[in-house]
Amino acid sequence: MQERPLKERGKATKPSATAEAESAWPLEHRRDLTALAYERIEALFISMRIAPGAEIRTQDLQAMVGIGRTPVHQAVRRLAAETLLEIRPRNGLLVAPIDLSREKRLAELRRDLDRFVTAAAIRNMTSNDRAALHHLKRKLEAEGPAMTVDSFNIIDKSFDDLLIRASGERFLERVLSPLHAIGRRNGYLHLTQISGLDGLTRTVERHVAIMESVLAGDAERACQASDELVEFGISMLVDLEEHVDPALLDIRFATANSAAAVFAPARAGASAPPE
């Protein structure tokens, strides 16, 4: 998925036409449409194409993801239960703003859950799981400087899903999925506004370290590498607190005079190059 300038991402009330959405999101047949709608809306959330704090309508999301009313409504209910969206009766939806204090606390929760899943995955991993993990690791290493934040997030989500599946504790998916989505959104903002290619390289290195330890069956090292990744994410939150415009954390902080500047494209070098 090609990254769009942040200016476009902030305009949640101007979705593409449904036909354009279907072109951008090719319909994957034989997939549960509610699950597909959930994944596509989650991707919009992570990449800030629906801006933190933005007020949107369910109809907007339908047009943006190219999926019909009922699956999108069901996906919205799940996203609301996970606190990524807020349903406001008669007033549409509110995209959860970035609450840095809360998200530092959630990162600590995620650290413990990720450790549990990582260790369990090593114990229960099948040959197919190992083959899939080798594939993801090769993709991360092969794409290198050509990788965008969006393409990295696709691989990262596949990696998280693989570990949860391999762990045999699938009930954790409903807890970890929103925690990972929140973490990816924070990372997306940091990488596109502050750390750029250098930050993406360091992020990839930490993920590869976890993958290598899991494939080696070294649970202690894998859990340590997982902890280091979460600590890296917390350091990003500290950077955002000190250096980012508050309107990027919550669009409602933007004033009429500052909105254009806030939602301009990221500074030169902040985003990975396009695919």
Q: How far apart are CA 184 and CA 175, in angstroms?
A: 15
pTM score, whole prediction: 0.84
Mean pLDDT, residues 86-103 taken together: 94
Q: How far apart are CA 273 and CA 150, in angstroms?
A: 11
Tell me, what's the pLDDT at 256?
A: 54
- Round the average pLDDT of the chain to a whole number and report it: 86
Say if residues 94 and 12 touch (Cβ distance below 8 Å): no
Higher pLDDT, 98 or 29: 98
Q: What sign does the CA torsion over 129, 134, 140, 142 have?
A: negative
Mean pLDDT, residues 182-190 taken together: 98
Tell me, what's the pLDDT at 269?
A: 35
Residue 193 has pLDDT above 80, yes or no: yes
Residue 157 has pLDDT above 80, yes or no: yes
**AA identity, residue 197:** L
